[in-house]
Structure 1
């Protein structure tokens, strides 16, 4: 049953990519990969520290981590940047809402269906960590944009050569 749930999360998440403009996908892919590495690192650090537990042990935790990271989290990050980037207040508001939903009602649901059980951390920690990641992601994207050559600079460089 949980295997179908995981597969469903991935298929539904990736199914929405069909509606994401190709340009947006590639523009926000680096920040999404950066963020996914951070989330996977959290899973690697959290499992041996007993932040959460799952029936089936480390294998189940790894499956859950990969499912959430490369399913809803990965695609959600792309969509959030596509819909809000450049409007920090909207980005912050949307992340506050989504991180709250993850930390409280969704976390409760995931615990009820025995996907995992929080052990040494609480929902408030999930909320605060997620919010911290969101701000780190926004800063990372700002750095990427600052170092990205504009079309005007590219055009001038091409004229010189």
Structure 2
């Protein structure tokens, strides 16, 4: 039962910060967050089949879905809001955040039977996170490059 509460908290609490992002930033960065959530889900399924990691059963779906739809999506929006347009700041911030997650978060995830690494080392797992960070930034960059400038008729 404790696991269920933690999974629900992981899903709900990050979304409580979204009003502080702002409506325009949410509209601007939500497509990238959805895209990277889908990429992450595909990578997670692939990694689980290769036994790189193990996800435990959650409520209705596996525990990783709670992480993807909660902290991962919301953190993607926040990191883009705070650092987009400053690639070096974005990249360094991601390196630090992912390092801290591996240092502290993996123990928490294992202790509460959310997920654990199997055939992947911490460093290899960190590399997968950094690759996803590059994909996230690239998606946002391409999206904004393709958007037509809006002409305001005031």
Q: TM-score, normalised by structure 1?
A: 0.86
Greater helix share, structure number = 1
1:92 and 2:73 are equivalent in the alignment: no
Q: Which has the larger radius of gyration?
A: 1
Aligned residue pairs, count: 151
Deviating beyond 6 angstroms after TM superposition, the runs of 4 or more aligned structure 1 residues are none
Q: CA deviation at 1:116?
A: 2.4
CA RMSD in angstroms comes to 1.8
Cα deviation for residue 139 of structure 1 reads 1.3
**Is the Cα contact below 8 Å between 2:64 and 2:114 reproduced in 1?**
no
Given that residues 102 and 127 in structure 1 are in contact (C-alpha distance below 8 angstroms), is that contact kept between their aligned partners in structure 2? Answer: no
CA contact (8 A) 1:24 1:82 kept: yes
**Secondary structure class of the residue paired with 1:114:** coil
Which residue is 1:39 aligned to?
40
Aligned match of 1:26: 27
| Runs (5+) with no aligned partner, structure 2 | none
**d(CA) in 2 for partners of 1:53 and 1:28?**
30
The gaps in structure 1 that reach 5 residues or longer are: none
For residue 17 of structure 1, report the CA deviation from its aligned partner: 0.6
For residues 50 and 104 of structure 2, what CA distance do their matches in structure 1 show? 24
1:23-51 Cα deviation digits (max 9, x unpaired): 10010111111111110001211222222
Give the 3-state SS of the residue equivalent to 1:76 in structure 2: helix
What pairs with 1:65-104 in structure 2 (closer than 5 Å)? 65-104=64-103
Greater displacement, 113-122 / 125-134:
113-122
TM-score (norm 2): 0.90
